Amino acid sequence: MSKRNRREFLTSSIVAGVAIGCATSASSNFAADARSTDEPIIDIHQHTNYRERTNARLLAHQRAMGVTKTILLPAGSSVRRPSTKDGAYNGLGGVGAGGNDTVVAMSQEHPREFTYGANEVTDLPEARAVIERLLKAGAVIIGEQKFTVQCDSRESQMLYALAAEYKVPILLHFQHNSYNMGFEFFYRMLEKFRDTIFIGHAQTWWANIDKHHSDQTNLYPKGKVTPGGWTDRFLADYPNMYADMSAGSGLNALTRDEEHARGFLDRHQNKILYGSDCNDHTGTAPECQGANTIAAIRKLAANKTIERKILYENAKRVFRFDA
């Protein structure tokens, strides 16, 4: 299906009857098209309604960071079941992230600057059907999958297969004893679903860059890093494994040991994708974690080629963006 037909399908079947929630102030205050720059940036990880941040502020935030294309990752349905901690984890861990309809609406309001993913609570019986409907309509990724399930659960594997079927990545939030548990055995999924592109994210993913990270309850370890942790090995050994540099966990991985970070960025320069996943309103350092991550990548990348891969070219290739 052509991109144009997919958008027409989206308009007729997914957003029909949905009040486009992008505030009118966003249209009036930010009427300009996506900024033109010699150094575009693709942000693979942002959210609508993130801790009640408005769409207008989100738009201004992304432009302040210099981002030219943003992928919006929706929450799943608000339900009370063990996989959402009886509802406490609704809105992607309780941060209030908007659902599928909100990311579609924002992307339609600003199609040059935003596109969107598809998501649903992993073990809902209708999860596959909900996600597939959005993939047919134009979603470019499944995720963020952030639910209390084992990473090799039957329901998770159904979504891994769906990602391969539609040739889109799936982004997983790994957090010990909270989301996508069983990280140490995730290599089995990488081997079983070799046609699926996996993108790793969050505390347990980034803590395990260190070969000697033994206390999995320590989600933000500090100090020197010894190469060869699970994350390092997954990226090195499996062509279908990628890394999302977003959130405080990603920034911590860069700044805790800058010497290691330089080697890590060089070693995995074709596998690392920039994401922000920050909820501030400014989009500028020092308040904005996403802006601080961009600055750290620019500081620690060995050369301009590696910097541009991480901030733009890798995502352009993985998501098959035209520009």
Q: Is the pLDDT of residue 138 over 60?
A: yes
Question: Is 68:35 a contact under the CB 8 Å cutoff?
Answer: yes
User: Is 226 a domain residue?
Assistant: yes
Q: How far apart are CA 55 and CA 60, in angstroms?
A: 9
CB-based burial label for 147 (10 Å; 0-12, 13-18, 19+):
buried
- Per-residue model confidence (pLDDT) at position 22: 34
Q: How confident is the model at residue 323 (pLDDT cuts 50, 70, 90)?
A: low
User: Is 191 a domain residue?
Assistant: yes
Give buried/exposed letters for 16-47 (b at 16+ CB in 10 A, else e): eeeebbbeeebeeebeeebeeeeebbbbbbbb
User: Is 30 a domain residue?
Assistant: no
Kindly report the pTM of this predicted structure. Answer: 0.89
Amino acid identity, residue 301?
Answer: A
Q: Is the pLDDT of residue 199 over 90?
A: yes
φ/ψ region of 223 (left if φ > 0, alpha if ψ in -120 to 50, else beta) reads: left
Q: Which residues on neighbouring strands pair with residue 170, listed in sequence order?
A: 142, 198
Cα–Cα distances in angstroms (integers) from residue 31 to residues 37, 118, 207, in the given order:
17, 27, 41
User: Is 33 a domain residue?
Assistant: no
User: Is 223 a domain residue?
Assistant: yes
Q: What is the pLDDT of the chain when averaged over all its residues?
A: 91
User: Is 25 a domain residue?
Assistant: no
Per-residue 3-state assignment (H helix, E strand, C coil) for 85-152:
CCCCCHHHHHCCCCCHHHHHHHHHHCCCCEEECECCCCCCCCHHHHHHHHHHHCCCCEEEECCCCECC
Summarize the confidence of residues 204-216 as an average pLDDT. 97
Q: Is the pLDDT of residue 28 over 60?
A: no
We report the CATH number of the domain holding residue 104 as: 3.20.20.140
Q: How confident is the model at residue 6 (pLDDT cuts 50, 70, 90)?
A: very low
Tally of domains in the chain: 1
- Per-residue model confidence (pLDDT) at position 157: 98
Domain that holds residue 232: 3-15+38-318
pLDDT tens-place string over residues 89-122? 999 999 999 999 999 999 999 999 999 999 999 9
> Could you tell me which residues come within 8 angstroms of residue 49 by beta carbon, excluding any fewer than 6 positions away?
91, 96, 97, 98, 102
Summarize the confidence of residues 130-145 as an average pLDDT. 98
Q: How far apart are CA 279 and CA 50, in angstroms?
A: 6
Q: Is the pLDDT of residue 159 over 80?
A: yes
pLDDT tens-place string over residues 42-78? 999 999 999 999 999 999 999 999 999 999 999 999 9
User: Is 32 a domain residue?
Assistant: no
φ/ψ region of 226 (left if φ > 0, alpha if ψ in -120 to 50, else beta) reads: beta
User: Is 187 a domain residue?
Assistant: yes
Token reading at 59: 């738009």
Amino acid identity, residue 309?
Answer: K
* Percentage of the chain lying above the pLDDT 70 cut: 88
